[in-house]
Structure 1
Amino acid sequence: MIEQGQTLPTASLTELTSEGMQTHSTESLFAGKKVVLFAVPGAFTPTCSNAHLPEFVALADKIMAKGVDAIYCVSVNDAFVMKAWGEAHNAEHIRMLADGDASFTKALGLDKDTASFGGIRSTRYAMIVENQTVAGLFVEQDKEFAVSRAEAILEKL
């Protein structure tokens, strides 16, 4: 698993924008920026939709006021699902990034196999990334939702 002080792995994430499907490298997303990244096991799933994403939406202004350049949400879903999920939660200040093949999640060592429920998914986590380097990593234990909450990350900034 990636650790604080390490550089993010090279990977691609997709995003559906008004200009169409965009593929972004981790370098272009994180170079020269302070970013809060949070990852969820799945879009439209209970904790993710009822708490995790909505808290980041509600606290986005306060997070950005702490010198954060961007907030990214990543899930092992496709870009169409991530766009629809972001729209359903008014997440206009959060970039909804898809890791459709889980390559980024696996490279971080934060993947988990949910078997018949959904296959390979991401562990729930949040991280603070400064210029591609992990400045803070907050990984949830299974069935927990505490350290990756928006409120908890706001306190760490």
Structure 2
Amino acid sequence: MPSGQLQELKDGEMINHATDELFANKKVVLFAVPGAFTPTCSAAHLPGYVVKADEFKAKGVDLIACVSVNDAFVMNAWGAAQNAEHIAMLADGDGNYTKALGLEMETGAFGGLRSQRYAMVIENGTVTLLNVEKPKEFEVSKAEAVLAAL
């Protein structure tokens, strides 16, 4: 995983996570969405991980994290609206980390630079699974697909 910074608003405090530390010495499921509060992201993508959080933990996952090219305030509000208390809601406000991963896309009027929809498993800072969705699809990055791969 590339080095970078992601933000999280937690209990009213802004936390700047260095990704080297965030992904070190643990098994992480990181999934990305094009935008908080958007239809597929809110109706299916995030809720799947919220509902299946215990199943991920049972498979040895230490951290489940959702990342989007949004600010930490939006990610926090979206997480609260979705009852995502067991998911780290991470903001890549300027898209720099998404670009470092090579998983950005240009969406024009939708919001400019955004993340592609994907899910990955990171073990001690190394990607062991990367499932990137084809445009306008939602199959390989859903919680059920990642759980099956684990």
Provide the secondary structure at the position in 2 that maps to 1:101. coil
Q: Residue by residue, what CA displacement relative to the aligned partner does 1:105-137 show, whole Å, maximum 9, x if unpaired?
A: 000000000011110000000000000100000
Q: How does 1:18-37 map to 2 (within 5 A)?
A: 18=11, 20-37=13-30
TM-score (norm. length: structure 1): 0.94
Following TM superposition, the consecutive aligned residue runs of length 4 or more in structure 1 with deviations greater than 6 angstroms are: none
Q: CA RMSD in A?
A: 0.6
In structure 1, which of residues 53, 64, 76 is the aligned counterpart of residue 46 of structure 2? Answer: 53
1:130 to 98, 123, 137: 123
Listed as ranges, the gaps of 5+ residues in structure 1 are 1-7
Deviations 1:82-108 (A, max 9, x none): 000000000010000000000110000
Distance in 2 (CA, whole Å) between partners of 1:87 and 1:64 is 20
Q: Unmatched 5+ residue regions in structure 2?
A: none
Query: 5 Å matches for 1:7-156?
Result: 8-18=1-11, 20-156=13-149
Aligned residue for 2:119, secondary structure, equals strand
Pairwise CA distance, 1:60: 0.5
Identity %: 65
Q: C-alpha distance in 1, partners of 2:12/2:104?
A: 30
Local SS of the residue matching 1:138: strand
How many correspondences in the alignment? 150
**Map of 1:5 onto structure 2:** none
Specify the code of the residue in structure 2 equivalent to 1:154: L
